[in-house]
């Protein structure tokens, strides 16, 4: 079983989205898709007079920002992906972590302060996902999830990791705008957890690649057999950087 995580920046690119949809439609096994939508959320926050604020990559989410995040993630972005998949010939259904209680969360506590309505996954109904997969339906999952007080905004990488762990997935693939982890202008084909940490310490892995690698490490630690960081071309070719235990 394969979990694919795509970010909002990639989904904003119409060429990427159509290519991604074609790649998914041609896969032999039905994957699970988890998506983000960061830039659109920030743009709408500004439009409504709100200032986007992040703590270590996590969006501080008050009630107004939650409403915007839910509208963008579970509405516009989710349906854009589903539409692209259907047009490419795949059978797809969009849902959020709230639907059928798919992803239960608790409020995330952060040492840097209160993040508002930001959740941390604590339970995933793997049976719901497996049912769709068994019928050849691609689940397209928005990371808005269910907490005791209602909806919570959840980092899409964390949701992908939680779903991969619940399904004991063969791999979770983080589809990005880079072909993998780069060293000396070459893609590193594979890394162990300890090798990845060493490259972070030595600053060979830096900037925006750090959270991608950390998410891959979390996925493997949580139960996925492997994690891969790649771009659309690498998804199609089966290349990229595979991170294992």
Residue-by-residue DSSP string for 133-184 = HHTT-EEEEES-EEETTEEEB--HHHHHHHHHHHHT-SEEEEE-SSSS-EET
- Would 31 be classed as within a structural domain? no
Domains identified in the chain, total number: 2
Whether residue 1 lies inside any domain: the answer is no
**pLDDT score of 92:** 98
Q: Are residues 19 and 131 in the same domain?
A: yes
Predicted TM-score (pTM) of the model is 0.92
Same domain for 238 and 206, yes or no, is yes
Are residue 181 and residue 98 in the same domain, yes or no? no
Asked if 242 and 182 sit in the same domain, the reply is: yes
Among 233, 182, 181, 241, which residue's Cα sits nearest to residue 16?
233
| Span 120-172, pLDDT tens digits | 999 999 999 999 999 999 999 999 999 999 999 998 988 998 999 899 899 99
H/E run at residue 43: helix 38-47
160: left (phi over 0), alpha (psi -120 to 50) or beta: alpha
**pLDDT (0 to 100) of residue 113:** 81
Map residue 118 onto helix, strand or coil.
Answer: strand
Is pLDDT at 23 greater than 90 in this prediction? Answer: yes
| Number of CB atoms found within 10 A of residue 60's CB | 19
Judgement on whether residues 149 and 53 belong to the same structural domain of the protein: yes
Residue after which a domain boundary falls, among 155, 189, 219? 155
68 shares its domain with 19? yes
CATH number of the domain encompassing residue 121:
3.40.1160.10
How far apart CA 145 and CA 97 sit, in angstroms, is: 4
Give the CA angle between residues 111, 160, 20 to the nearest 5°: 130
Question: Residue 204 falls within a domain, yes or no?
Answer: yes
Same domain, 245 and 173: yes
- Highest average pLDDT, of 32-46, 93-107, 215-229, comes from 93-107
- Grade residue 7 by pLDDT with cuts at 50, 70 and 90: confident
Find, among 91, 89, 72, 84, the residue nearest to 139 by Cα: 91
d(CA 178, CA 231): 5
Q: Among 155, 180, 208, where does a domain finish?
A: 155
Q: Give the pLDDT confidence of 37-87 residue by residue, as tens digits.
A: 878 899 999 999 999 988 877 888 999 999 999 999 999 999 999 999 999
Residues 48 and 111 in one domain: yes
Domain that holds residue 22: 11-26+37-155
User: In this structure, are 130 and 50 located in the same domain?
Assistant: yes
Q: CB-based contacts of 187: which residues, under 8 Å, 6+ apart?
A: 179, 180, 181, 239, 240, 241
Of how many residues is the chain composed?
245
Is 191 found in the same domain as 106? Answer: no
Q: Is residue 128 part of a domain?
A: yes
- Among 97, 130, 155, where does a domain finish? 155
């Amino acid at each position: 079983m394969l979990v694919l995580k795509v970010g909002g920046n990639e989904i904003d690119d119409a060429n990427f989205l159509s290519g991604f949809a074609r790649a998914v439609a041609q896969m032999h096994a039905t994957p699970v898709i988890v998506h983000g939508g960061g830039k659109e959320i920030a743009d709408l926050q500004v439009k409504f007079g709100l200032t986007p604020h992040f703590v270590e990559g996590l969006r501080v989410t008050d009630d107004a920002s939650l409403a915007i995040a839910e509208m963008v993630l579970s509405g516009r972005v989710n349906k854009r992906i589903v539409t692209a998949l259907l047009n490419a010939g795949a059978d797809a259904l969009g849902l959020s972590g709230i639907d059928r209680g798919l992803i239960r969360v608790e409020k995330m506590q952060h040492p840097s302060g209160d993040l508002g309505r930001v959740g941390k996954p604590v339970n995933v109904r793997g049976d719901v996902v497996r049912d769709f997969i068994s019928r050849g339906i691609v689940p397209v999952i928005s990371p808005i999830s269910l907490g005791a007080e209602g909806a919570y905004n959840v980092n899409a990488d964390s949701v992908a990791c939680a779903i991969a762990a619940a399904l004991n997935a063969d791999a979770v693939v983080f589809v990005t705008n880079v072909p993998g982890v780069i060293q000396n202008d070459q893609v590193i084909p594979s890394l162990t957890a300890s090798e990845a940490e060493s490259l972070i310490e030595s600053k060979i892995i830096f900037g925006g690649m750090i959270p991608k690698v950390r998410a891959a490490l979390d996925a493997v630690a949580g139960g996925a057999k492997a994690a891969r960081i790649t771009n659309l071309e690498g998804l199609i070719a089966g290349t990229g950087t595979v991170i294992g235990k």
